[in-house]
Amino acid sequence: MTDTGTAVALTPAPTDRVLSPAALSGMPALSRFGIPLGLAGLGGGWSAARSSFGSPMWPEEILYGAASSLWLILTAVYVVRGLRRKGTFRADLRHEVAGPFASFIPLIGILLSSHYSQYLPPWGAWLCMAFIAGLAVVAAQLLAHWVTGGVSMQSIHPGYLLPVAAGSFVASIGFSTIHTHNAAMAAFGVGVFFWLVIGAVVTVRLMTGGEVLPAAKVGLSAYLAAPATANIAWMVSHPGPMGAMQLGLTGVLLIMVLMQVMLLPEYRKLPFTQMFWVFTFPVGATTNYAIRWLATTDLPGRQIWAWAILGLATAFTLVIAARTVPTPIAPKAARLAAPQSTELH
Protein backbone atom coordinates (compact mmCIF):
# COMPACT_ATOMS: atom_id res chain seq x y z
CA MET A 1 0.00 0.00 0.00
CA THR A 2 1.09 3.60 -0.55
CA ASP A 3 1.84 6.29 2.02
CA THR A 4 -1.20 8.17 0.68
CA GLY A 5 -3.45 5.29 1.55
CA THR A 6 -2.01 5.17 5.05
CA ALA A 7 -2.55 8.87 5.54
CA VAL A 8 -6.15 8.58 4.47
CA ALA A 9 -6.71 5.68 6.83
CA LEU A 10 -5.33 7.66 9.76
CA THR A 11 -7.22 10.84 9.00
CA PRO A 12 -10.35 11.26 11.13
CA ALA A 13 -13.46 10.91 8.99
CA PRO A 14 -16.19 13.54 9.05
CA THR A 15 -18.30 11.08 11.03
CA ASP A 16 -15.91 11.15 13.99
CA ARG A 17 -18.16 13.22 16.16
CA VAL A 18 -20.30 12.47 19.17
CA LEU A 19 -23.89 11.67 18.36
CA SER A 20 -26.60 13.21 20.51
CA PRO A 21 -28.21 11.09 23.23
CA ALA A 22 -31.53 11.27 21.38
CA ALA A 23 -29.91 9.95 18.25
CA LEU A 24 -28.21 7.12 20.12
CA SER A 25 -31.44 6.18 21.88
CA GLY A 26 -33.13 5.92 18.50
CA MET A 27 -30.91 3.01 17.55
CA PRO A 28 -32.57 0.34 19.74
CA ALA A 29 -35.98 2.02 19.49
CA LEU A 30 -36.09 1.74 15.70
CA SER A 31 -34.25 -1.58 15.48
CA ARG A 32 -36.99 -3.25 17.52
CA PHE A 33 -39.38 -2.75 14.60
CA GLY A 34 -37.28 -5.30 12.75
CA ILE A 35 -39.06 -7.96 14.84
CA PRO A 36 -42.61 -7.47 13.47
CA LEU A 37 -41.13 -6.74 10.02
CA GLY A 38 -39.35 -10.09 10.03
CA LEU A 39 -42.44 -11.93 11.27
CA ALA A 40 -44.59 -10.33 8.58
CA GLY A 41 -41.98 -11.19 5.95
CA LEU A 42 -42.00 -14.84 7.01
CA GLY A 43 -45.79 -14.73 7.07
CA GLY A 44 -45.63 -13.73 3.41
CA GLY A 45 -43.55 -16.82 2.72
CA TRP A 46 -46.15 -19.07 4.35
CA SER A 47 -48.88 -17.24 2.44
CA ALA A 48 -47.06 -17.98 -0.82
CA ALA A 49 -46.76 -21.64 0.21
CA ARG A 50 -50.50 -21.80 0.92
CA SER A 51 -51.50 -20.29 -2.43
CA SER A 52 -48.90 -22.25 -4.41
CA PHE A 53 -48.69 -25.64 -2.68
CA GLY A 54 -51.67 -25.77 -0.33
CA SER A 55 -49.92 -25.34 3.01
CA PRO A 56 -52.14 -24.79 6.07
CA MET A 57 -53.30 -21.28 6.84
CA TRP A 58 -52.57 -21.23 10.56
CA PRO A 59 -48.78 -20.57 10.39
CA GLU A 60 -49.20 -17.38 8.36
CA GLU A 61 -52.06 -16.19 10.55
CA ILE A 62 -50.01 -16.76 13.70
CA LEU A 63 -47.08 -14.88 12.20
CA TYR A 64 -49.21 -11.97 10.97
CA GLY A 65 -51.07 -11.88 14.27
CA ALA A 66 -47.84 -11.76 16.27
CA ALA A 67 -46.43 -9.11 13.92
CA SER A 68 -49.58 -7.02 14.30
CA SER A 69 -49.55 -7.21 18.09
CA LEU A 70 -45.86 -6.34 18.38
CA TRP A 71 -46.14 -3.57 15.82
CA LEU A 72 -49.05 -1.96 17.65
CA ILE A 73 -47.28 -2.18 21.02
CA LEU A 74 -43.94 -0.90 19.72
CA THR A 75 -45.60 1.92 17.79
CA ALA A 76 -47.54 3.03 20.87
CA VAL A 77 -44.38 2.94 23.03
CA TYR A 78 -42.40 4.79 20.36
CA VAL A 79 -45.03 7.51 19.97
CA VAL A 80 -45.32 8.02 23.74
CA ARG A 81 -41.53 8.21 24.01
CA GLY A 82 -41.41 10.74 21.19
CA LEU A 83 -44.09 12.92 22.74
CA ARG A 84 -42.29 12.98 26.07
CA ARG A 85 -38.94 14.01 24.62
CA LYS A 86 -38.97 16.97 22.30
CA GLY A 87 -37.08 16.46 19.06
CA THR A 88 -36.93 12.68 19.38
CA PHE A 89 -38.69 11.94 16.10
CA ARG A 90 -36.45 14.32 14.17
CA ALA A 91 -33.31 12.99 15.88
CA ASP A 92 -34.23 9.39 15.10
CA LEU A 93 -34.99 10.21 11.48
CA ARG A 94 -31.61 11.92 11.16
CA HIS A 95 -29.65 9.18 12.91
CA GLU A 96 -26.81 8.37 10.50
CA VAL A 97 -27.07 4.60 11.06
CA ALA A 98 -30.65 3.94 12.19
CA GLY A 99 -32.42 6.77 10.33
CA PRO A 100 -33.50 4.60 7.37
CA PHE A 101 -35.07 2.14 9.82
CA ALA A 102 -37.73 4.76 10.60
CA SER A 103 -39.41 3.51 7.44
CA PHE A 104 -40.09 0.18 9.17
CA ILE A 105 -43.17 1.62 10.90
CA PRO A 106 -45.24 2.36 7.75
CA LEU A 107 -43.57 -0.52 5.90
CA ILE A 108 -44.96 -3.03 8.38
CA GLY A 109 -48.33 -1.29 8.15
CA ILE A 110 -48.39 -1.91 4.39
CA LEU A 111 -47.60 -5.60 4.82
CA LEU A 112 -50.23 -6.10 7.51
CA SER A 113 -52.99 -4.11 5.82
CA SER A 114 -52.28 -5.91 2.52
CA HIS A 115 -52.74 -9.24 4.25
CA TYR A 116 -55.86 -8.30 6.19
CA SER A 117 -57.48 -6.47 3.25
CA GLN A 118 -58.87 -9.85 2.18
CA TYR A 119 -60.86 -9.95 5.41
CA LEU A 120 -61.68 -6.25 5.82
CA PRO A 121 -62.71 -4.77 2.46
CA PRO A 122 -62.70 -1.87 1.83
CA TRP A 123 -61.09 -0.80 5.12
CA GLY A 124 -57.99 -2.85 4.45
CA ALA A 125 -57.48 -1.12 1.10
CA TRP A 126 -57.86 2.33 2.63
CA LEU A 127 -55.43 1.47 5.42
CA CYS A 128 -52.95 0.13 2.89
CA MET A 129 -53.07 3.37 0.91
CA ALA A 130 -52.70 5.39 4.11
CA PHE A 131 -49.57 3.47 5.10
CA ILE A 132 -48.15 3.82 1.59
CA ALA A 133 -48.70 7.57 1.89
CA GLY A 134 -46.97 7.48 5.28
CA LEU A 135 -44.01 5.61 3.80
CA ALA A 136 -43.79 8.18 1.00
CA VAL A 137 -43.64 11.01 3.55
CA VAL A 138 -40.91 9.30 5.59
CA ALA A 139 -38.93 8.48 2.44
CA ALA A 140 -39.24 12.07 1.22
CA GLN A 141 -38.04 13.40 4.58
CA LEU A 142 -35.07 11.07 4.52
CA LEU A 143 -34.19 12.03 0.96
CA ALA A 144 -34.41 15.73 1.73
CA HIS A 145 -32.09 15.20 4.71
CA TRP A 146 -29.62 13.14 2.70
CA VAL A 147 -29.33 15.47 -0.30
CA THR A 148 -28.81 18.57 1.85
CA GLY A 149 -25.64 17.29 3.45
CA GLY A 150 -27.31 15.62 6.40
CA VAL A 151 -25.12 12.53 6.23
CA SER A 152 -21.47 11.92 5.51
CA MET A 153 -20.24 9.41 2.96
CA GLN A 154 -18.70 7.33 5.76
CA SER A 155 -22.06 6.80 7.47
CA ILE A 156 -23.87 5.48 4.39
CA HIS A 157 -24.71 1.76 4.43
CA PRO A 158 -27.00 -0.57 2.41
CA GLY A 159 -29.84 0.05 4.86
CA TYR A 160 -30.35 3.32 2.98
CA LEU A 161 -31.96 1.19 0.26
CA LEU A 162 -34.77 0.06 2.54
CA PRO A 163 -37.09 3.10 2.61
CA VAL A 164 -36.71 4.21 -1.01
CA ALA A 165 -36.04 1.01 -2.97
CA ALA A 166 -37.37 -2.01 -1.04
CA GLY A 167 -40.07 0.22 0.49
CA SER A 168 -41.28 1.29 -2.95
CA PHE A 169 -41.41 -2.33 -4.10
CA VAL A 170 -43.43 -3.26 -1.02
CA ALA A 171 -45.75 -0.35 -1.82
CA SER A 172 -46.11 -1.79 -5.33
CA ILE A 173 -47.06 -5.15 -3.82
CA GLY A 174 -49.61 -3.41 -1.62
CA PHE A 175 -51.16 -1.63 -4.60
CA SER A 176 -51.38 -4.91 -6.52
CA THR A 177 -53.02 -6.57 -3.53
CA ILE A 178 -55.80 -3.97 -3.54
CA HIS A 179 -56.06 -4.19 -7.37
CA THR A 180 -54.67 -0.79 -8.38
CA HIS A 181 -52.35 -1.86 -11.18
CA ASN A 182 -51.37 1.59 -12.46
CA ALA A 183 -50.35 2.74 -8.99
CA ALA A 184 -48.40 -0.51 -8.55
CA MET A 185 -46.43 0.20 -11.72
CA ALA A 186 -45.75 3.78 -10.60
CA ALA A 187 -44.43 2.55 -7.24
CA PHE A 188 -42.35 -0.10 -9.02
CA GLY A 189 -40.79 2.61 -11.18
CA VAL A 190 -39.90 4.63 -8.09
CA GLY A 191 -38.27 1.55 -6.58
CA VAL A 192 -36.20 0.85 -9.68
CA PHE A 193 -35.03 4.47 -9.86
CA PHE A 194 -33.82 4.61 -6.28
CA TRP A 195 -32.46 1.07 -6.42
CA LEU A 196 -30.13 2.28 -9.17
CA VAL A 197 -29.36 5.72 -7.73
CA ILE A 198 -29.01 4.95 -4.01
CA GLY A 199 -27.61 1.52 -4.77
CA ALA A 200 -24.80 3.10 -6.79
CA VAL A 201 -24.00 5.57 -4.00
CA VAL A 202 -24.01 2.82 -1.36
CA THR A 203 -21.81 0.51 -3.42
CA VAL A 204 -19.28 3.26 -4.16
CA ARG A 205 -19.12 4.07 -0.45
CA LEU A 206 -18.57 0.40 0.49
CA MET A 207 -15.92 -0.11 -2.18
CA THR A 208 -13.93 3.07 -1.49
CA GLY A 209 -14.84 4.31 1.98
CA GLY A 210 -13.52 1.56 4.20
CA GLU A 211 -15.33 -0.78 6.56
CA VAL A 212 -18.80 0.20 7.76
CA LEU A 213 -19.69 0.53 11.44
CA PRO A 214 -20.42 -2.79 13.17
CA ALA A 215 -24.07 -1.86 13.77
CA ALA A 216 -24.47 -0.99 10.09
CA LYS A 217 -23.24 -4.35 8.83
CA VAL A 218 -26.65 -5.92 9.34
CA GLY A 219 -27.81 -3.43 6.70
CA LEU A 220 -25.81 -5.38 4.11
CA SER A 221 -28.85 -7.66 3.97
CA ALA A 222 -30.65 -4.81 2.16
CA TYR A 223 -28.75 -5.92 -0.93
CA LEU A 224 -31.01 -8.97 -0.75
CA ALA A 225 -34.21 -7.17 0.28
CA ALA A 226 -34.32 -4.92 -2.80
CA PRO A 227 -34.25 -7.63 -5.51
CA ALA A 228 -36.45 -9.98 -3.47
CA THR A 229 -39.22 -7.41 -3.08
CA ALA A 230 -38.75 -6.27 -6.69
CA ASN A 231 -39.29 -9.82 -7.92
CA ILE A 232 -42.42 -10.27 -5.83
CA ALA A 233 -43.78 -6.89 -6.92
CA TRP A 234 -43.31 -7.69 -10.61
CA MET A 235 -44.71 -11.21 -10.30
CA VAL A 236 -47.90 -10.20 -8.48
CA SER A 237 -48.51 -7.37 -10.96
CA HIS A 238 -47.78 -9.58 -13.99
CA PRO A 239 -49.26 -13.02 -13.30
CA GLY A 240 -48.69 -15.70 -15.89
CA PRO A 241 -45.61 -16.96 -17.71
CA MET A 242 -42.29 -15.37 -16.82
CA GLY A 243 -41.08 -12.65 -19.16
CA ALA A 244 -37.67 -11.13 -19.74
CA MET A 245 -38.05 -8.64 -16.88
CA GLN A 246 -38.87 -11.37 -14.36
CA LEU A 247 -35.95 -13.51 -15.51
CA GLY A 248 -33.58 -10.58 -15.25
CA LEU A 249 -34.74 -9.69 -11.75
CA THR A 250 -34.43 -13.35 -10.74
CA GLY A 251 -30.82 -13.36 -11.92
CA VAL A 252 -30.06 -10.29 -9.82
CA LEU A 253 -31.64 -11.92 -6.77
CA LEU A 254 -29.59 -15.08 -7.28
CA ILE A 255 -26.27 -13.23 -7.34
CA MET A 256 -27.31 -11.27 -4.25
CA VAL A 257 -28.10 -14.53 -2.45
CA LEU A 258 -24.63 -15.80 -3.33
CA MET A 259 -23.11 -12.55 -2.06
CA GLN A 260 -24.91 -12.98 1.27
CA VAL A 261 -23.45 -16.48 1.53
CA MET A 262 -19.99 -15.00 1.03
CA LEU A 263 -20.72 -12.43 3.75
CA LEU A 264 -21.55 -15.06 6.37
CA PRO A 265 -18.03 -14.96 7.89
CA GLU A 266 -18.45 -11.19 8.41
CA TYR A 267 -21.87 -11.64 9.99
CA ARG A 268 -20.54 -14.28 12.36
CA LYS A 269 -18.11 -11.74 13.83
CA LEU A 270 -20.93 -9.47 14.98
CA PRO A 271 -22.19 -9.66 18.58
CA PHE A 272 -25.84 -10.62 18.74
CA THR A 273 -28.30 -7.76 19.29
CA GLN A 274 -31.93 -7.20 18.44
CA MET A 275 -30.72 -5.58 15.23
CA PHE A 276 -30.18 -9.12 13.92
CA TRP A 277 -33.92 -9.09 13.23
CA VAL A 278 -33.05 -6.86 10.26
CA PHE A 279 -31.79 -10.05 8.60
CA THR A 280 -35.15 -11.79 8.86
CA PHE A 281 -37.16 -9.67 6.43
CA PRO A 282 -34.79 -10.18 3.46
CA VAL A 283 -34.78 -13.90 4.24
CA GLY A 284 -38.59 -13.99 4.42
CA ALA A 285 -39.00 -11.98 1.21
CA THR A 286 -36.52 -14.20 -0.64
CA THR A 287 -38.35 -17.27 0.61
CA ASN A 288 -41.64 -15.78 -0.55
CA TYR A 289 -40.35 -15.26 -4.07
CA ALA A 290 -38.51 -18.60 -4.23
CA ILE A 291 -41.76 -20.43 -3.47
CA ARG A 292 -43.67 -18.40 -6.05
CA TRP A 293 -40.94 -19.03 -8.61
CA LEU A 294 -40.84 -22.78 -7.94
CA ALA A 295 -44.61 -22.92 -8.44
CA THR A 296 -44.17 -21.64 -12.00
CA THR A 297 -41.54 -24.23 -12.96
CA ASP A 298 -41.56 -27.92 -13.84
CA LEU A 299 -38.54 -28.56 -11.66
CA PRO A 300 -38.57 -32.14 -10.32
CA GLY A 301 -39.31 -32.19 -6.62
CA ARG A 302 -40.28 -28.53 -6.61
CA GLN A 303 -42.54 -28.98 -3.60
CA ILE A 304 -39.71 -30.59 -1.66
CA TRP A 305 -37.46 -27.65 -2.54
CA ALA A 306 -40.16 -25.18 -1.55
CA TRP A 307 -40.76 -26.84 1.81
CA ALA A 308 -37.01 -27.06 2.45
CA ILE A 309 -36.53 -23.34 1.76
CA LEU A 310 -39.54 -22.41 3.88
CA GLY A 311 -38.36 -24.68 6.68
CA LEU A 312 -34.89 -23.11 6.70
CA ALA A 313 -36.32 -19.59 6.73
CA THR A 314 -38.67 -20.49 9.57
CA ALA A 315 -35.85 -22.13 11.54
CA PHE A 316 -33.64 -19.08 11.00
CA THR A 317 -36.33 -16.76 12.34
CA LEU A 318 -36.97 -19.04 15.31
CA VAL A 319 -33.26 -19.06 16.16
CA ILE A 320 -33.19 -15.26 16.08
CA ALA A 321 -36.29 -15.19 18.27
CA ALA A 322 -34.80 -17.68 20.73
CA ARG A 323 -31.64 -15.59 21.09
CA THR A 324 -33.62 -12.41 21.63
CA VAL A 325 -33.94 -11.82 25.34
CA PRO A 326 -35.55 -8.83 27.14
CA THR A 327 -32.27 -7.27 28.23
CA PRO A 328 -31.28 -3.63 27.77
CA ILE A 329 -29.46 -3.16 24.48
CA ALA A 330 -29.16 0.61 24.41
CA PRO A 331 -25.55 0.75 25.70
CA LYS A 332 -24.36 -1.96 23.31
CA ALA A 333 -26.27 -0.49 20.36
CA ALA A 334 -24.88 2.93 21.15
CA ARG A 335 -21.32 1.63 21.21
CA LEU A 336 -21.81 -0.22 17.93
CA ALA A 337 -23.43 2.77 16.29
CA ALA A 338 -21.00 5.40 17.49
CA PRO A 339 -18.30 6.26 14.95
CA GLN A 340 -14.87 5.09 16.02
CA SER A 341 -12.12 7.68 15.80
CA THR A 342 -8.96 6.66 13.97
CA GLU A 343 -6.92 9.54 15.37
CA LEU A 344 -3.61 8.56 16.94
CA HIS A 345 -2.73 9.80 20.44
- Say if residue 117's pLDDT is above 60: yes
Lowest mean pLDDT segment, chosen from 25-29, 249-253, 295-299, 303-307: 25-29
Range of the domain at 153: 19-325
Predicted model pTM? 0.85
What confidence score (pLDDT) does residue 28 get?
67
**Nearest of 84, 24, 126, 34 to residue 337 by alpha carbon:** 24
3-state SS string over the chain?
Answer: CCHHHHHHHHCCCCCCCCCCHHHHHHHHHHHCCHHHHHHHHHHHHHHHHHHHHCCCCHHHHHHHHHHHHHHHHHHHHHHHHHHHCCCHHHHHHCCCCCHHHHHHHHHHHHHHHHHHCCCCCCHHHHHHHHHHHHHHHHHHHHHHHHHHHHCCHHHCCHHHHHHHHHHHHHHHHHHHHCCCHHHHHHHHHHHHHHHHHHHHHHHHHHHHCCCCCHHHHHHHHHHHHHHHHHHHHHHHHCCCCCCHHHHHHHHHHHHHHHHHHHCHHHHHCCCCCHHHHHHHHHHHHHHHHHHHHHHCCCCCCHHHHHHHHHHHHHHHHHHHHHHCCCCCCHHHHHHHHCCCCCCCC
State the Cα–Cα distance between residues 226 and 285, nearest whole angstrom: 9
Residue 218 in this model has a pLDDT that exceeds 90: no
Residue 50 in any domain: the answer is yes
Average pLDDT over residues 271-294: 93
Mean pLDDT of the 146-164 span: 88
For position 265, what pLDDT does the model report?
Answer: 92
Mean pLDDT of the region 194-211: 91
pLDDT value at 76 more than 90: yes
Return the minimum-mean-pLDDT range out of 22-36, 64-78, 225-239, 240-254.
22-36
Q: Is residue 6 part of a domain?
A: no
pLDDT given for residue 328 in this prediction: 47
In a domain, 256, yes or no: yes
pLDDT, average across residues 16-21: 41
| CA–CA dist 212, 56 (Å, integer) | 42
Residue 341 pLDDT exceeds 50: no
Domain at 286, CATH number:
1.50.10.150
Q: Does 138 fall in a domain?
A: yes
User: For 30-55, how does the pLDDT look when each residue is reduced to its tens digit (9 = 90+)?
Assistant: 888 999 999 999 999 999 999 999 99
Residue 2, in any domain of the structure: no
Q: Is the pLDDT of residue 60 over 70?
A: yes
Q: How many domains does the chain have?
A: 1
- The per-residue pLDDT of the chain, averaged, comes to 85
**Least reliable range by pLDDT among 90-104, 118-132, 229-243, 320-334:** 320-334
Q: Is residue 31 part of a domain?
A: yes
Query: Does residue 41 lie in a domain region?
Result: yes
Q: Is the pLDDT of residue 81 over 50?
A: yes
Q: 331 lies in a domain?
A: no
The per-residue pLDDT for range 298-313, each reduced to its tens digit, is 889 999 999 999 999 9
